[in-house]
Amino acid sequence: MSIVDVFRKAVEELEKGFTIALITIIDKEGSGPRDIGSTILYSQSGLKIGTIGGGDFEKMVIEEAVKAISEGKSRRVKYALRPENIPSNAVKTSHLCGGVVEIFINVVKPNPRIVIFGAGNIGKPLADLASFLNYKVVVLDTDQGLVSRDKFPYADEIYAGDLIEYIDKNVFKENDIVIIAYGEVETDYQILRKLLLKNYPGHIWVICSRRRCSWMLKRIIDEGIELNRFIEKIHMPAGLNINSDTPEEIAISIFAEIICVLKKCEEPVKSLNLVKKLWESISKNV
């Protein structure tokens, strides 16, 4: 399979929502089974295309790629293809080629899909900003009048109907980002509850006050849902504290926090710490 085929498959896997690793030999000292530039595609879906030599060496590289995908971090690793004179910074293999090769595991994540529950006053600027940031956009509401192609021409999907039924019938991926912005207390709670019951794998932002946040967490605990499995991925009240007021400003504060989480910066810890503190406090009193 040519390198063009590898890249074509890489794009297909990203379009499906899978994180991929492009594994390339970037340096070689002495003999090795493949030359510099040889590349493997390994996808979160389990797909592997290409080879950099096979055997124990390639198996070890794939295992390292799985770790890299899990951590979301690219890396360089050296492998010794000989039983002796192994460099201190190289990993030993069972190969007898005699050389040392260095590989680069380039982790590539698909653009997040932003799933917005609620197409009202805040839902619209949220969707507009998501599209501007080149994310895939899904907009959902119970009101057909709020969800239309004229209003959201850029959306990958629009849906009007039963929101809980939508969650039941659809598959969510780890890189999905849900924003609950419907605005009606019970509906917002039921959406959050259903996502947790379905073991939703991505991050969730909930637009709410601190008081409503506490109420929702307590109710979830009272219903016996194991919140500790999701506590690192629930962000509420949604958004960084920038004294936002208008729907547009609120949307900016939320996407500022989303970007911080995706880029692994420290600022969102404030939001997560609030959820954790409330959760811990509520748990002690239940």
Q: Is the pLDDT of residue 268 over 60?
A: no
247-262 vs 123-132: helix axis angle to the nearest 10?
A: 50
The total domain count for the chain is: 2
Which is more confident, 115 or 174?
A: 115
pLDDT on residue 176: 93
Distance CA 223, CA 218 (A): 9
Domain co-membership, 134 together with 251: yes
Domain co-membership, 236 together with 126: yes
Element (H, E) at 225: none
Spell out the residues 6+ positions from residue 97 whose beta carbon is closer than 8 angstroms to its own: 30, 31, 32, 33, 81, 82
Domain co-membership, 153 together with 117: yes
The DSSP 8-state label assigned to residue 145 in this structure reads G
* Last-in-domain residue among 73, 92, 108: 108
Domain that holds residue 47: 3-108
Domain co-membership, 160 together with 273: yes
Q: Which residue has the tokens 């390292």?
A: 64
Distance CA 161, CA 150 (A): 18
Provide the 3-class DSSP secondary structure of residue 239: coil
Q: Is the pLDDT of residue 261 over 90?
A: no
pLDDT on residue 96: 73
Q: Which residue has the tokens 């939001």?
A: 271
Q: Is the pLDDT of residue 219 over 70?
A: yes
Tally the C-alpha atoms within 13 A of residue 268's C-alpha that lie toward its C-beta: 24
Give CA 90 to chain center in angstroms. 31
Distance CA 23, CA 62 (A): 9
Which is more confident, 267 or 13?
A: 13
Domain co-membership, 85 together with 208: no
The DSSP 8-state label assigned to residue 71 in this structure reads H
What is the tens place of the pLDDT at every residue in 78-133?
888 776 766 677 777 776 777 788 999 999 999 899 999 999 999 999 999 999 99
Domain co-membership, 191 together with 61: no
Distance CA 178, CA 195 (A): 9
pLDDT on residue 240: 87
pTM over 0.85: no
* Last-in-domain residue among 108, 129, 156: 108
Domain co-membership, 258 together with 133: yes
pLDDT on residue 55: 79
Domain co-membership, 245 together with 139: yes
Which is more confident, 183 or 55?
A: 183
Cα separations (Å) of 135 from 70, 73, 161, 191? 21, 20, 23, 22
Cα separations (Å) of 177 from 46, 185, 248? 23, 20, 19
Q: How many CB atoms lie within 10 A of CB 89?
A: 11
* Last-in-domain residue among 81, 108, 135: 108
Domain co-membership, 159 together with 91: no
pLDDT on residue 89: 78
pLDDT on residue 273: 58
Domain co-membership, 242 together with 163: yes
Percent of the chain with pLDDT over 70: 91
Domain co-membership, 94 together with 118: no
Cα separations (Å) of 22 from 11, 53, 113? 11, 15, 22
Mean pLDDT of the chain: 88
Which is more confident, 242 or 42?
A: 42
The enclosing domain of 251 has a CATH number of: 3.40.50.720
Spell out the residues 6+ positions from residue 215 whose beta carbon is closer than 8 angstroms to its own: none
Distance CA 196, CA 278 (A): 18
Domain co-membership, 179 together with 132: yes
pLDDT on residue 266: 64
Tokens representing residue 156 in the block: 């990958």
DSSP secondary structure letters along 176-190: EEEEE----HHHHHH
